[in-house]
Amino acid sequence: MCGIIGAIAKNNVVPVLLQGLQRLEYRGYDSAGLATIDNNKLQRIRSIGRVADLARQSSTACGYIGIAHTRWATHGEPSERNAHPHLSGNLIAVVHNGIIENYEELRMQLTTQGFLFTSDTDSEVIAHLIHSHYSRGNSLLAATQTAIGQLTGAYAIGVMAADNSNQIICARKGSPLLLGLGTDGHYIASDLSALLPITNNILYLQDGDVAEVSLSGYQIFDANGNTVERAVNICKLHSSKAELGEYRHYMQKEIHEQPQALINTLEGVCNSQALVPGIFGADAARIFPQIEKILILACGTSHHAGMVARYWLEEIAGISCTVEIASEYRYRVSVPDPGSLVLTISQSGETADTLAALNHAKDLGHTHTLSICNVPESALTRLSGLHFLTHAGPEIGVASTKAFTTQLAALFILTLILAKQRGGLDSKEEYNYLHALRHLPTAVDSVLKLAPDIARIAERFSDKRHALFLGRGLHYPIALEGALKLKEISYIHAEAYPAGELKHGPLALVDKEMPVIAVAPNDTLLAKLKSNLQEVRARGGELYVFADAGTRFHSGDGLHLIQMPEHAGYLSPILHTIALQLLAYYVALQKGTDVDKPRNLAKSVTVE
Ligand code: F6R
Q: In the 3-class helix/strand/coil scheme, how is 17-39 assigned residue by residue?
A: HHHHHHHHHHHCCCEEEEEEEEC
Q: In what order do the strands lie in the sheet with 368-373?
A: 320-325, 293-298, 340-346, 368-373, 386-389
Q: What is the pLDDT of residue 13?
A: 97
Question: Sorting pLDDT into bands at 50, 70 and 90, what band is 603?
Answer: confident
Q: Is the CB of 354 under 6 A from ligand 1?
A: yes
Name which of 348, 379, 394 is nearest 237 in CA terms.
Answer: 394
Would you call 489 exposed, middle or buried from its count of C-beta atoms within 10 A (0-12, 13-18, 19+)? buried
Output the residue whose Cα is nearest ligand 1's atom 16. Answer: 346
Concatenating the DSSP letter of every residue in 307-369 gives: HHHHHHHHHTS--EEEEEEHHHHTTS-----TTEEEEEEESSS--HHHHHHHHHHHHTT--EE
pLDDT at 43 over 80: yes
Q: Domains, the chain, ranges and CATH? A: 3-242 (3.60.20.10), 250-444 (3.40.50.10490), 451-591 (3.40.50.10490)
* Closest residue to atom 10 of ligand 1, CA basis: 301
pLDDT score for 294:
98
> Which residue lies with its CA nearest to atom 5 of ligand 1?
300
* Contact predicate 275/269, CB 8 Å: yes
Closest atom of ligand 1 relative to the 298 alpha carbon: 16
Ligand 1 center–CA 441 separation, angstroms: 23
> What's the pLDDT at 578?
98
Query: Does 50 or 588 have the greater pLDDT score?
Result: 588
Ligand 1 pocket residue status of 301, Cβ below 6 Å:
yes
Q: 401 vs 601, which has greater pLDDT? A: 401
Residue 271 has pLDDT above 90, yes or no: no
Going by CA atoms, what residue is nearest to atom 4 of ligand 1? 300
At residue 381 the predicted structure's pLDDT band, cuts being 50, 70 and 90, is very high
Distance 327 CA to ligand 1 centre (A): 13
pTM of the model: 0.77
Distance 265 CA to ligand 1 centre (A): 19
In this predicted structure, the answer to whether residue 207 has a pLDDT above a threshold of 60 is yes
Average pLDDT taken over every residue of the chain = 93
Residues sharing a CB contact under 8 Å with residue 182, sequence separation 6 or more, in sequence order: 9, 198, 199, 201
Gap from CA of 581 to ligand 1 centroid (Å)? 14
- Could you report the per-residue pLDDT of 164-186, keeping only the tens digit for each? 999 999 999 877 899 999 999 99
Q: Which pLDDT value is given to residue 1? A: 66
User: Of ligand 1's atoms, which has the minimum distance to the CA of residue 380?
Assistant: 16
- Quick: pLDDT tens for 104-148: 999 999 999 999 999 999 999 999 999 999 999 999 999 999 999
Q: Cα of 400 to ligand 1 centre, how many Å?
A: 6
Q: Is 604 in the pocket of ligand 1 (CB under 6 A)?
A: yes
Measured from the Cα of 485, ligand 1's closest atom is 7
Mean pLDDT of 48-76: 90
| Cβ(66) – ligand 1 distance below 6 Å | no
- pLDDT at position 264, please? 83
Q: What percent of the chain has pLDDT over 70?
A: 98
Mean pLDDT of 402-429: 96
Residue 407 Cβ < 6 Å to ligand 1: no
Active site residues: 2, 603
Handedness of CA 490, 492, 497, 503 (dihedral sign): negative
Residue 488 in contact with ligand 1 by CB distance below 6 A: yes
Report d(CA 377, CA 234) in Å as an integer: 12
Q: Is the pLDDT of residue 239 over 70?
A: no
Give 398 Cα–ligand 1 centroid separation in angstroms.
Answer: 8
Nearest Cα residue to atom 9 of ligand 1 = 300
The set of residues, in sequence order, having a beta carbon less than 8 Å from that of 438 and lying 6+ positions away, is 266, 270
Structure confidence at residue 391 as a pLDDT band (50, 70, 90)? confident
Residue-level pLDDT at 260: 85
Listing DSSP states for 186-232 in one string gives EEEESSGGGTTTT-SEEEEPPTT-EEEE-SS-EEEE-TTS-EE--PE
Rounded to the nearest angstrom, the distance between the alpha carbon of 373 and the centre of ligand 1 is: 11
CA-CA distances (angstroms) from residue 426 to 147, 415, 422?
60, 14, 11
Residue in 411, 487, 601, 605 to alter for ligand 1 test, most ligand atoms within 8 A of Cβ: 605
**% of the chain with per-residue pLDDT over 90:** 77
Q: Is 302 close to ligand 1, i.e. is its CB under 6 Å away?
A: yes
Average pLDDT estimate for 540-551:
94
With a cut of 80, say whether residue 427 has pLDDT above it.
yes
**491/513 Cα distance (integer angstroms):** 16
Average pLDDT over residues 301-313: 98
Q: Which atom of ligand 1 is nearest to the CA of 300?
A: 9
With cut-offs at 50, 70 and 90, classify the pLDDT of residue 77.
confident
Please check the confidence at residue 26 and state whether its pLDDT lies above 80. Answer: no
- pLDDT of residue 74 exceeding 70, the answer is yes
What per-residue confidence (pLDDT) applies to 73?
A: 77
pLDDT of residue 241: 52
Residue from 348, 350, 577, 600 whose mutation best tests the ligand 1 pocket (most atoms within 8 A of CB): 348
* C-alpha 408 to ligand 1 mean position (Å): 14
